[in-house]
Amino acid sequence: GLEGASDDDDAGLKLFWRMIRETLGRRPFGELPMDPTSWYRVRQAHAAAYDAWLDEAHAPASSADVVDLAHAFLYCRATYGFAMREGHMDSITSGAALFTVRKVAYFDPAEDACQMTNSTALRDMIGLEAPDVIDACWSTAAYRPSFFVAVDDERKWVVLGVRGTIATRDFLADVTASQVRFCGGSAHL
């Protein structure tokens, strides 16, 4: 391994290279995510699919479904813990700062907040008590996203929240993600 690197760093590096090999092995060269125009093309494809969906007839959503969706959105926000609660993701500018100028600051709100601070932020944003959060892992390791499992007694839900990109190392998972067919649609693997 590298001098000064921990076993976790070595394991993360090995996992990174394994994921690169597996990803490259599954995709034709022309579909690799390293192409800077790929984000634009994917966005265009998603926009076309959304427009087609809008053209279809849909039954109106019930008010109960809308309330459930709004409640679920609170959980989506809470997966970002301390950084979200403190307003570091309130705008494009503040979100972009998490990946740029905040990285050189003495405290990175995305990566330096401890387990307890993030868990407290999660509970505060949703209104949960400590026993309602069954498990939480606020990871900063590559390919190990932060997650939580909580019980919402009011809604009779068990919630698994998995955080998306917030830290620079999350980009490793983003660029090696593959799209797969799932439940009649697609998901990222």
Per-residue model confidence as pLDDT tens digits over 138-179: 977 777 888 999 999 999 999 999 988 887 777 777 777 777
- Is the pLDDT confidence value at 9 over 60? no
Residue of 4, 163, 22 whose CA lies nearest to 98:
163
| Contact status, residue 131 vs residue 95, Cβ threshold 8 Å | no
Q: Rounded to two decimals, what is the model's pTM?
A: 0.66
Provide CB contacts within 8 A for 27, sequence distance 6+: 178
Q: What is the Cα gyration radius of the chain?
A: 19
Which letter, b or e, does each residue of 141-158 get, where b requires 16 or more Cβ atoms within 10 Å of its Cβ? ebbebbebebbbeeeeee
Task: Please state, in angstroms and rounded to a whole number, the distance separating the CA atoms of residues 76 and 69.
Answer: 10
